[in-house]
Amino acid sequence: MSRNEAPKLTFKVLGLLLGYPSRELIDGLDELDAVLDQEDLLDGENRAPLAALIRDLASRPLLDLQEEYVALFDMTGRLSLNLFEHVHGESKARGQAMADLQEIYFEYGLTSDKELPDYLPLLCEFLSILPPADATAVLCEAGPAIELLQARLEKRGSAYAAVIACLSRLSGSPSESGVIDTGGVHPPSFDELDRGWEEALIEFGVADAFDSCESPAPGRTGTP
């Protein structure tokens, strides 16, 4: 895959769907859906749950969506959309990691005064301005934290798990850790998986991403 390929707006769409529900978002859902159809990066297995989330957002009162969103992501630390919380917790290393990530954003002209650099929707916006190969590399680095978040959302039965599953798919490693795909052989319970993730060191170094995990996601459709 050439790094000269055009960036993919699918990443930005996924980030917007993970953001706080607003009237602007709801009014633009048809446009976001059209982008997903046009770029066709997601296969049917991921596209169908994502379409269900979009229908749900379009059909429910905005206030209900906002209250549910706050209760899910802002009131539950284990579901935080700030990825470094799952990597570094409250350690000093988190501050340095965010500073490094912010510096990379600045280099690409991406700024935000509202959210921390490790906020997943902001990371998705960053991915949308990168060549596809580089976006895949960054997602690969973030993969363990993303898979952990996906597993936790799926346990809660949240429709937002569909968005995280798409990011996991586009990272090129949908289940190497076993969190998503246990191979059907005596799968461990969620609590066992969760403890395993908390005990393991999750590394997420975006600054090193461009030198590792370079291979494109397997099985993607619609890419040249």
Residue 190 has pLDDT above 50, yes or no: no
The total of structural domains in the chain comes to: 1
> Is residue 5 a part of any domain in this protein?
no
> Would 224 be classed as within a structural domain?
no
Q: Do the domain assignments include residue 92?
A: yes
Name the one residue in this structure whose structure tokens are 């790094």.
3
Residue 222 placed within a domain: no
Residue 181: pLDDT over 80:
no
- Whether the CB-CB separation of 21 and 57 falls below 8 Å is answered with yes
State the average pLDDT over residues 26-36.
Answer: 96
How far apart (Å, rounded) are the C-alpha atoms in residues 133 and 131? 6
Chain centroid offset of residue 70 CA: 18
How remote is the C-alpha of 45 from its chain's centroid?
Answer: 17
Q: Which domain holds residue 160?
A: 10-211
Look at residue 44 and tell me if it is in a domain. Answer: yes
Going by C-alpha positions, the residue among 53, 55, 71 that lies closest to residue 63 is 71
Arithmetic mean of pLDDT over the chain: 77
Residue position matching structure tokens 């978002």 = 25
Instruction: Give pTM, 2 decimals.
Output: 0.75
The one-letter amino acid at 216? P
Q: Residue 221 falls within a domain, yes or no? A: no
**Are the C-beta atoms of residues 169 and 14 closer than 8 Å to each other?**
no
Read off the pLDDT of residues 116-151 as tens digits, 9 standing for 90 and up: 888 999 999 999 999 988 899 888 888 888 988 999
200 occurs within a structural domain: yes
Residue 83 vs residue 98, higher pLDDT: 83
Lowest-pLDDT range of 52-56, 169-173, 178-182, 200-204: 178-182
Whether 48 maps to a domain, the answer reads yes
Residues facing 82 on adjacent strands: 119
Where do the H-state alpha helices sit in 19-131?
23-27, 29-39, 44-59, 62-69, 84-87, 92-107, 120-127
CA distances from 76 to 63, 132, 212 (A): 19, 32, 32
Position 90 scores a pLDDT of 63
Coil/strand/helix, residue 82: strand
At 83 the pLDDT is 85
Between the ranges 100-114, 118-132, 205-219, where is the mean pLDDT highest? 118-132
